[in-house]
Structure 1
């Protein structure tokens, strides 16, 4: 990636580059969030990227075998060494993020500034309920993944019909497909099509724009296997200003997936 940036003549300071750490090789110390793996894994990642630093490094899921204090101290060592500017979490619970911030505050260190959860029209509880106190308490931002619910929200799937070049056609996704492609979900996806048509958008663009419309979402991760998909996905930015309160209400009336907020957060 570093080589590509140089060849393209891109200014590094104009770009925000992130990486994750948890998984590694097959050795006993090649995974987790111990100080050893964080330091060694970060160095290895930078070497592969051919970069001196990344902007954000995520702890890619919690590590039950490592005390949170050790992880917080190690991530601050990474920042102090100039290998990253900020650190965040991925797939952590609100309690775990809070514990990390408690350690950071006690030791006058930097806490996690971003979390990477799943978030889409069909999966909303973490972002809209569980994490609610974190946004105001710690200024937590979100980089969300799976805005299209593994492709379900593109509208390309029908009951019993799976395109051969789609993700759900892969063997390791067949269990997920059987759980996702149920009548209720497909009915909701069909109900969203007229709204997308009215806005002059595809279902995928509508779904991505909906995620980005949440003020607590800093960035939406999109996946693509073709250049054309990237171009189409980015057109979601043109849909974003069209998501007025009335349109959002129409979407909610169809998906009916808004989680109930705890009384204390209303």
Structure 2
């Protein structure tokens, strides 16, 4: 396992992060413990969760694992969680206000059973709350020892720059990372977000690096996904991923290229897709939400392969981004709707009620 600095911080993180969105839901606690053990035994140290993953139960599972592995293993973990959304119907239990972030952070610390988290990420933007209010709270949390670093997630390029410039002007804690959707099938962040991240020495922590499993090479064009596969689920997230990717000639051409290169080098398609992504500018660690030990072992294999310049170039050529994707498609539409006040659902309603626009 190789390690990279997290943004402009002095903390090193493994080149692969473990996502825990499915812990306590599709992944039992026993299997989650085995996955966490396998990840850390392989040298992985960056573990990602959120206060809204399975309504906080994911954090509880991670917390019980940390308690059971107290000592050297737990001390090596670079722990990250997120705040912004909530399962509560209360009007103030969402957004980036001081009130909501305080409650969210305290709740996460309690569920995780820790006094602090290494990286606290804002799960999405909130243009109804002054950025100064959000940034001051985060700085106080850093000074108070509740978090070590500040991160962002699902921010557009200009929103990232707004947070960075405002934090520097205020003399408060400056974000070190941004978690965005990024994969061979979703490269639109390269237009603005990646340049902004590079300019500000901010690390990318890509979510959905395998495009909901499509880049694992398990799907056939025109076929029906197996019920055990993500695209075969009847959940909103999987319907969204399936509908977003399956209808594009470009995406199928990309998958075919990934499969071809995997055969050339004796790897799996998932390993090729992850290796390509991990080698992209500004990327610190793709966040892989392994649901099983088999998936984890497959994902970890990316640390043992390399891609030639020719192979990398061929993947980039076939997967060039096209207008209309994240964050300018569905994700951008609800943001514009909020600004235009046209009655479209707020992002927290999208998350909690289920829709065609889920966030990672």
Same fold (TM over 0.5): yes
Q: 1:12-66: per-residue Cα shift (whole Å, max 9, x none)?
A: 4421000000112221221111001111110110000001110000000001221
SS in 1 for 2:100: helix
C-alpha contact (below 8 Å) 2:224/2:232 kept by paired residues:
no
Residue 52, structure 1, aligned to residue 115, structure 2: yes
Q: Structure 1 176/246 Cα, relative in aligned 2: closer, same or farther at 3 Å? A: closer
Q: Structure 1 41/229 Cα, relative in aligned 2: closer, same or farther at 3 Å? A: same
C-alpha contact (below 8 Å) 1:54/1:83 kept by paired residues:
yes
C-alpha contact (below 8 Å) 1:90/1:115 kept by paired residues:
yes
SS in 2 for 1:51: coil
Q: C-alpha separation between the residues in 2 aligned to 1:161 and 1:54?
A: 41
1:208 to 253, 256, 274: 274
C-alpha contact (below 8 Å) 1:157/1:181 kept by paired residues:
no
Higher radius of gyration, 1 or 2:
1
Give structure 2 stretches of 5+ with no counterpart.
1-61, 324-360
| 1:29-40 matched pairs, under 5 angstroms | 29-40=92-103
SS in 2 for 1:151: helix
After TM superposition, which residue ranges in structure 1, 4 or more long, deviate above 4 angstroms?
Answer: none
2:310 to 243, 246, 252: 246
Q: C-alpha separation between the residues in 1 aligned to 2:280 and 2:258?
A: 18
What is the number of residues matched between the two proteins? 256
Give structure 1 stretches of 5+ with no counterpart.
261-266
Higher relative contact order (CA 8 A, sep 6+): 2
Please tell me the root mean square deviation across aligned C-alpha atoms, in Å.
Answer: 1.8
| 1:72-221 matched pairs, under 5 angstroms | 72-126=135-189, 128-158=190-220, 159-171=222-234, 172=236, 173-182=238-247, 184=249, 185-221=251-287
Counterpart of 1:19 in structure 2 is 81
SS in 2 for 1:115: strand
Counterpart of 1:264 in structure 2 is none
TM-score, normalised with respect to structure 1: 0.90
More displaced stretch, 170-179 vs 56-65? 170-179
1:5 to 66, 82, 100: 66
C-alpha contact (below 8 Å) 1:129/1:259 kept by paired residues:
no
SS in 2 for 1:30: coil
